[in-house]
C-alpha cells in the first residue's frame, strides 16, 4: 500500500523519524512510503520508500503524489508533522484488512485515532456502524484529516484540488478545510474508541519537545534548522 507523505526537503530528518517509528511499532507494516522532494535528487533505493520530485507548492506537491493513483485506491495518509507514539496493533491491522475488502464502496476513510474534535458529537453522525466487529462512526467534517489514516486517493485529491494554488503556510490548510463540505459519496469513518497515540513533530515551524526527545532516543539527527523546541509536549490521543 502506498503511504502518502507530505513533507519538504528541510524536514528530511522529521520524515525519517516518522518512518522509523512505524518500523519500530509495526515491523511488518504494508507501506511503501511515497516521499516528495523538491531540490536535491535522491537516489536511495529501498523496498519501503519511493521518492518523487514535486514543486515546492503544497497543493501541487500532494496532487503530484497522487497522479498515477485511481480515485478508489486505498492509501495511507501520513503527513510527517505527526508520528506514531503507540498503536493498538491488533486493531490497526484489523482496520487495514478492511481496506482489502471489496464490499466497502460506501467507505472512503478509516481513522483509528479518535481524539480532539472527533470527541464532539456535533462532528459525527449519531449512528454506529459495525464492520468485522469494529464500531465505526461516520464523520461529518474534515476534522482530524491530518492525523494518519487509511483513505481512498479521491479524498485527498478532492480536498487539495479545492485549495488555492498558493498556500503560504501549512497552518492555513486548517481554515481552508473547515469551509469545505464532505461529498456525500465520501464516507469518512472513525473508530468509536481510540486505538492510537500520535505526537506532533513541529508547531509553527518549531520542533516539539516530544519529537526532539524521540529523535535523540532513536539516535537520529536533529533537523539542521533546529535551534529551540516548544515549551510543552504535543500529544494526540491516549490509550
pLDDT in tens, 73-111: 999 999 999 999 999 999 999 999 999 988 888 999 999
Q: What is the mean pLDDT of the chain?
A: 94
3-state secondary structure of 207: strand
pLDDT at 103: 82
Least-confidence region, from 38-47, 164-173, 196-205, 221-230 = 38-47
Cα separation, 79 vs 203, in Å, equals: 14
- Confidence band for 46, pLDDT divided at 50, 70 and 90: confident
pLDDT at 45: 62
Cα separation, 218 vs 221, in Å, equals: 9
Mean pLDDT (whole number) for 63-71 = 97
Q: Looking at residue 198, which CATH number applies to its domain?
A: 3.90.550
Integer CA distances (angstroms), 36 to 5, 76, 88, 170, in order: 7, 15, 29, 15
Supply the range of the domain harboring residue 108. Answer: 2-236
Mean pLDDT (whole number) for 168-184 = 92
Angle, CA of 79, 143 and 159, to the nearest 5°: 65
pLDDT at 41: 61
pTM (2 d.p.)? 0.95
Tally of domains within the chain? 1
Positive or negative CA dihedral for 185, 134, 82, 123? positive
Mean pLDDT (whole number) for 136-163 = 97
pLDDT at 43: 59
Mean pLDDT (whole number) for 211-228 = 95
Amino acid at each position: 500500500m502506498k503511504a502518502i507523505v507530505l513533507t519538504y526537503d528541510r524536514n528530511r530528518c522529521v520524515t525519517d523519524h516518522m518512518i522509523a517509528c512505524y518500523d519500530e511499532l509495526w515491523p511488518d507494516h504494508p507501506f511503501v512510503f511515497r516521499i516528495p522532494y523538491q531540490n536535491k535528487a535522491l537516489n536511495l533505493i529501498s523496498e519501503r520508500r519511493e521518492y518523487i520530485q514535486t514543486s515546492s507548492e503544497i497543493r501541487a506537491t500532494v496532487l503530484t503524489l497522487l497522479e498515477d493513483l485511481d480515485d478508489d485506491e486505498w492509501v495511507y495518509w501520513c503527513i510527517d508533522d505527526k508520528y506514531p507514539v503507540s498503536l493498538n496493533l491488533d486493531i490497526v491491522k484489523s482496520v487495514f484488512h478492511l481496506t482489502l475488502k471489496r464490499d466497502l464502496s460506501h467507505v472512503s476513510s478509516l481513522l483509528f485515532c479518535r481524539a480532539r474534535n472527533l470527541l464532539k458529537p456535533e462532528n459525527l453522525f449519531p449512528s454506529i456502524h459495525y464492520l468485522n466487529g469494529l464500531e465505526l462512526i461516520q464523520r461529518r467534517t474534515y476534522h482530524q484529516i491530518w492525523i494518519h489514516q487509511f483513505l481512498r486517493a479521491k479524498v485527498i485529491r478532492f480536498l487539495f484540488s479545492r485549495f488555492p494554488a498558493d498556500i503560504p503556510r501549512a497552518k492555513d490548510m486548517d481554515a481552508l478545510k473547515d469551509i469545505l463540505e464532505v461529498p456525500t459519496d465520501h464516507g469518512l469513518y472513525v473508530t468509536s474508541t481510540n486505538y492510537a497515540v500520535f505526537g506532533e513533530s513541529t508547531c509553527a515551524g518549531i520542533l516539539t519537545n516530544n519529537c526532539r526527545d524521540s529523535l535523540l532516543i532513536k539516535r537520529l539527527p536533529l533537523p539542521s534548522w533546529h535551534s529551540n523546541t516548544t515549551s510543552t509536549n504535543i500529544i494526540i490521543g491516549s490509550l
